[in-house]
Chain A
Amino acid sequence: MKMGFEIHIQLNTKQKLFCCCNPHEVDTKTINFGRKLRVSSSEMGEIDPAAEFEIGKGKDITYVSGDRTSCLVEADEEPPHAPNGEAIKSAIKISNLFSASIVDEIHFMRKIVVDGSNTSGFQRTAIVGLDGKFVNGGNYVGINSICLEEDAGRLVEKTETGPVYNLDRLGIPLLEITTEPVEGDAMLGEKIAAGIGRTLKLTGLFARGLGTIRQDVNVSVGNYGIVEVKGVQKLEQVRKVLEFEEKRQSWLVELSKILHNRGIGKSDFNTKIVNLTDIFLASNSQIIRRLMSGQNALALKAPGFSGLFAKEPVPDSRLGLDLADLCKLFGFKGIVHSDEISKYGIEGQILNEVYKRLDISEKDGFILIFGSGEKAYRCLEMAKLRLEASLYGPPSETRMATEKGTTRFLRPRPGASRMYPETDIMTILVSGEMKASYRIEMKSWEETVNDIAGKYNIPHQVAEQLLDSDYLEWFTEAVMAFKSIPSTVIASVILQTFEELRKDGLQANKSALFDILDAVNKGNISKEAIHDVLRESLSQSISVESVIKRRGLISISKDEMSKIVASILKDSVSENIQREKIYGVIMGRVMKQVRGKIDGKLVDQEVKRQIEEKFGTN
């Protein structure tokens, strides 16, 4: 397979790219306002009929503007300020790092973006470096370009009337690093992505945390269409996505052969959308009645597709699912296809009528939507194009990566970006001096890992994991702040506890980490209680301190524990427990009372000591 990467990574500048807002401040209030974007159809070309349709409808976009994180610039109510010099400097440094040719003048462009994520309707972007390379061990990959651009607004939700975006993220400087395509397997892809990611991380120029790095991965097999997968946020996803796409696209190649074998060709797609409302009105199926309510039933013959919609050669990859996602672009909940028609409880004679009207033979299938107006027709026209494209293998399209590492259809792939100069920003001259002096001196990955392992007295592997994670700074700060807690304990909270919590959808934060370590440091809770207290604190959004109070987890002294052990032991004497079982029973009863309040090792020692005192050594 051929793969290419587009890495978008936020710079950690204090201010945004075109205004003086600090995106990391906390808003005290927000206001909302509504906008529409217009791009005339002649400008859209034939690129993205779904997006064109949405724009034609004048979709309402709602923006949420916080008082600290955004200003009139993000609201598109004030021209952009001169670009952030720190960001330009970083872009030049990174271009040097990848041995790219740096342009002599930076020209910001407007790249049309129609989904509303940019208030202006375009993203400001500029090429800083061209034709670089990334060499890592035995791997070499060309870098096409390094662009400095503004991040888009953050999607808060999608409502019936249109999307809602928060402006806090809009305008954060991003570098977009685009690699040349390379031939290879998913392992190689992961190596390249990880290598570039690690190199960027070491520069210290970028923000940390979820969502600060996003990768688009372009994948194709053979000479078929290039599929762009968006939204790969984590490194672990890269390999899974590549593996998934390779299998999915190979299946689509297979599918084209099946269609060919069934004798299907281009001319078979001269089909018309057929209105079957009258037929379905006669159905007594509850589901159909619900779907029909006031809508039309519009159907399209799918020549040769019998059995191919529901086929799932790769888990979570079905043509039917792609078609349903396509229909969602037009606001439809989904699609009905012939492979699952039996689930709808439709009467046999009605189905026969459907087959007759659509002129369907055994090898054919059909798709059906319930809707009305131009929208429904446009949607089915798009679906028809998708079906026809199946004749030629995997089509060029844009897909979205899922958390699991699979991909879902997002939209047909747009052609060349529509760009024109950003006339509000002056051209920036890059002098020879700037090119020569804006460089990064940094240690290699290995050296850095060794340094961390040595300095904090942690195993090499733990040091590498910390460096790969977004939390190295938290670790170093915590180690400095809590000298009496072993650094390995702090590392394990960050690497293991946080990871476990994250799997359950709980995002750890720095203050929770410091609060919990502080509690351990003061002896208020034991190490064993860290996981449970953090989970409760994060899941219920209450402070660590309140959780400790509420749970009565304030720890007890060794003396108090010793008394508890003595009293439990005394109460148990009458039970005549066998000597060899005494430790287990007593330990269990004591732990029930003191769990989380004192280190388990101390309890173990004390229980053993008192048992020996009373009963002698075993």
Chain B
Amino acid sequence: MVQQMKPGQLVQLQYNGKLLEGLIMPRSLYEDTMHITLKLKNGYNIGLDIDKVRLVKVIEHEATAQTEDEKEYNEIGNGPRVLILGTGGTIASKVDYRTGAVKPAFSAKEIVDMVPEIGNIASISVKTIMNELSENIKPENWSIMSNEVYKAFNSGYKGVVIAHGTDTMHYSASAVSFAVENPPGPVIFVGSQRSSDRPSSDSAINLQGAVTFAAKSNASGVFVAMHAGLDDNLVAVHRGTRVRKNHTSRRDAFESVNDIPFAYVDIENSIIKHENEAIPKGKIKLMPNFLAKALIFKFHPGISESITNAVFKGDLLSVIIEGTGLGHVSREIFPYIRSAIDNGKFVGMTSQCIWGSVGMAVYETGRDLLAMGVVPLGDMLSETALVKSMWALGNGLDLPSVMPLNLRGEIASRRPVEK
């Protein structure tokens, strides 16, 4: 009897001598197979032990709803042309309260239906270029994003918005920053810390911020647009090479490190307040290759010798050290570093303090490391340094000369007092 029950069926069951009516729901991967999930008429789900229920009758064999996925819908709304690239996750989604299923929106029409405000700011086109969770994004995906951005500007879009999962969004933003030089308009990564299926999601506000910036700002560069604080009004626009996810869950998790945000967007009034400017210095240029033979080596007291050995003697071509304080590691690591550099590998120094610049001339340890050929990377974020070295390797650039240069605002000689 029990075997006949299938998700999607409306059934009448006997449980504990009582009759229950409801819809059999699919079980998630994390739930066992010993129970069934029943959605009662009042909307609640309950879990029942399969051995304790008896199927009285199937009231309705429900066919699973067919969803037609239209991958691209163009030009919805009014204003400058803005292309939204989907990389995975959902920018907007709709809940089917009958089944409890969350249906993501992929088409421009659906997205504009759900966040109608953006249709008044720009003429929206949407293209889904991949469907990856943020943690599964690889350097190959950065190349795809970069190519799509390049194509978009060549097809006359005013700006490009890239919807991205938040976990590795700052890596991707950094990667596209390096791969696309002199974009004629802004490229803005956007995500949400609260999923878009809930009424309190930050995605609609963030998306409005990103679209506003894409449509109205003339800045050339790659940025990240996310909540500036706990309030649902101000969106901060960070430079892609300067931004870091500094909190696991808050809406304002993304912060500019060693820099102030590039701009703010006041959503209610649709106003951009630029703190900075960025004018393209030439024609758009694409260098979309990445070679993933690089690693961040976070030094800590008691670090394992075998790991250290593997890092510096393996097949990596670039090691970005996250040193302590101003850029230090224990003397016990010195021989490994020296041999790596002697073997033609690149070793760059960043600080695990996150804020501030390395300063390797201050103490003896730093000076010794400099003498060995370790390249100080100033106030560059270790993640940005990592991505930059993968990019430099992928495009055949000379790391010791390119890495310390400021190419995309990733490194600065002065740091504002304001945090």
B156 interface residue, CB < 8 Å from A?
Answer: no
B47 interface residue, CB < 8 Å from A?
Answer: yes
Question: Which chain A residues have a beta carbon within 8 Å of chain B's beta carbons?
Answer: 33-40, 42-43, 72, 75-79, 101, 103-107, 109-112, 114, 119-122, 125-127, 130-131, 145, 147, 416-421, 426-427, 429
| 10 intermolecular pairs with C-beta atoms under 8 Å apart | A34-B233, A38-B199, A79-B249, A110-B198, A119-B200, A121-B200, A131-B18, A416-B42, A416-B43, A420-B95
Q: Mark B100-127, 1 if CB is under 8 A from A, else 0.
A: 1110000000000110000000000000
Cβ-defined contact, B46 with A426, below 8 A? no
Cβ-defined contact, B198 with A122, below 8 A? yes
Cβ-defined contact, B52 with A37, below 8 A? no
Question: How far does the Cβ of A502 sit from chain B's closest Cβ, in whole Å?
Answer: 37
Cβ-defined contact, B94 with A77, below 8 A? no
Complex CA distance for A104 and B34, rounded to whole angstroms: 10
Besides A418-B95, A426-B30, 8 other A-B contacts (C-beta < 8 A): A72-B250, A78-B250, A103-B46, A107-B44, A417-B43, A420-B100, A420-B102, A427-B30
Complex CA distance for A121 and B200, rounded to whole angstroms: 6
Cβ-defined contact, B48 with A130, below 8 A? no
Cβ-defined contact, B200 with A37, below 8 A? yes
Cβ-defined contact, B200 with A35, below 8 A? yes
If A43-B94, A107-B46 touch, whether A77 touches B200 (CB-CB below 8 Å) is no
Q: Of the 9-residue stretches B130-138, B224-232, B282-290, which lies at the interface with chain A?
A: B224-232
Question: How far does the Cβ of A178 sit from chain B's closest Cβ, in whole Å?
Answer: 9
Complex CA distance for A110 and B40, rounded to whole angstroms: 14
Cβ-defined contact, A40 with B94, below 8 A? yes
Complex CA distance for A114 and B52, rounded to whole angstroms: 38
Cβ-defined contact, B42 with A76, below 8 A? no
Cβ-defined contact, A35 with B232, below 8 A? yes
Of A72, A75, A110, A427, the most chain B CB neighbours within 10 A belong to A427
The 8 closest A-B pairs by CB, nearest first: A105-B47, A121-B199, A419-B43, A33-B230, A420-B100, A107-B45, A101-B16, A104-B49
What residues of chain A lie closer than 8 Å to B113, measured between beta carbons? 40, 42
Cβ-defined contact, B229 with A420, below 8 A? no
Cβ-defined contact, A104 with B35, below 8 A? yes
Cβ-defined contact, B249 with A72, below 8 A? yes
What residues of chain B lie closer than 8 Å to A34, measured between beta carbons? 231-233
If A34-B233, A416-B42, A420-B197 touch, whether A427 touches B31 (CB-CB below 8 Å) is yes
B201 interface residue, CB < 8 Å from A?
Answer: yes
Question: How far does the Cβ of B265 sit from chain A's closest Cβ, in whole Å?
Answer: 15
If A101-B15, A104-B49, A104-B52 touch, whether A417 touches B42 (CB-CB below 8 Å) is yes
Cβ-defined contact, B232 with A36, below 8 A? yes
Question: How far does the Cβ of A46 sit from chain B's closest Cβ, in whole Å?
Answer: 14
Question: How far does the Cβ of B13 sit from chain A's closest Cβ, in whole Å?
Answer: 12
B296 interface residue, CB < 8 Å from A?
Answer: no
Q: Which of A77, A101, A109 meets B230, CB within 8 Å?
A: A77
B241 interface residue, CB < 8 Å from A?
Answer: no
If A43-B94, A130-B18 touch, whether A419 touches B198 (CB-CB below 8 Å) is no
Cβ-defined contact, B249 with A77, below 8 A? yes
Cβ-defined contact, B230 with A105, below 8 A? no
Question: Which chain B residues have a beta carbon within 8 Å of chain A's beta carbons?
Answer: 15-16, 18, 20, 30-31, 35, 37, 40-49, 52, 94-97, 100-102, 113-114, 193-194, 197-201, 204-205, 229-233, 248-251
What residues of chain B lie closer than 8 Å to A110, measured between beta carbons? 198
Of B48, B200, B231, the most chain A CB neighbours within 10 A belong to B200
Cβ-defined contact, B43 with A109, below 8 A? yes
Question: How far does the Cβ of B232 sit from chain A's closest Cβ, in whole Å?
Answer: 5
Complex CA distance for A119 and B194, rounded to whole angstroms: 12
What residues of chain B lie closer than 8 Å to A147, measured between beta carbons? 44
Question: How far does the Cβ of A113 sit from chain B's closest Cβ, in whole Å?
Answer: 8
What residues of chain A lie closer than 8 Å to B43, measured between beta carbons? 109, 111, 416-419
Cβ-defined contact, B37 with A107, below 8 A? yes
CB closest residue in chain B, given A421: B100
What residues of chain A lie closer than 8 Å to B94, measured between beta carbons? 40, 42-43
Cβ-defined contact, A418 with B97, below 8 A? yes
Question: How far does the Cβ of B51 sit from chain A's closest Cβ, in whole Å?
Answer: 10
If A103-B48, A105-B46, A127-B40 touch, whether A40 touches B114 (CB-CB below 8 Å) is yes
Complex CA distance for A36 and B11, rounded to whole angstroms: 39
CB closest residue in chain A, given B100: A420
What residues of chain B lie closer than 8 Å to A111, measured between beta carbons? 43
Complex CA distance for A347 and B266, rounded to whole angstroms: 49
Complex CA distance for A57 and B189, rounded to whole angstroms: 27
CB closest residue in chain A, given B231: A34
Cβ-defined contact, A126 with B44, below 8 A? yes
Complex CA distance for A103 and B198, rounded to whole angstroms: 26
If A104-B52, A114-B199 touch, whether A38 touches B46 (CB-CB below 8 Å) is no
Complex CA distance for A130 and B367, rounded to whole angstroms: 73
What residues of chain A lie closer than 8 Å to B101, measured between beta carbons? 420
Complex CA distance for A110 and B200, rounded to whole angstroms: 12
Q: Which of A43, A105, A119 meets B97, CB within 8 Å?
A: A43
What residues of chain B lie closer than 8 Å to A107, measured between beta carbons? 37, 44-47
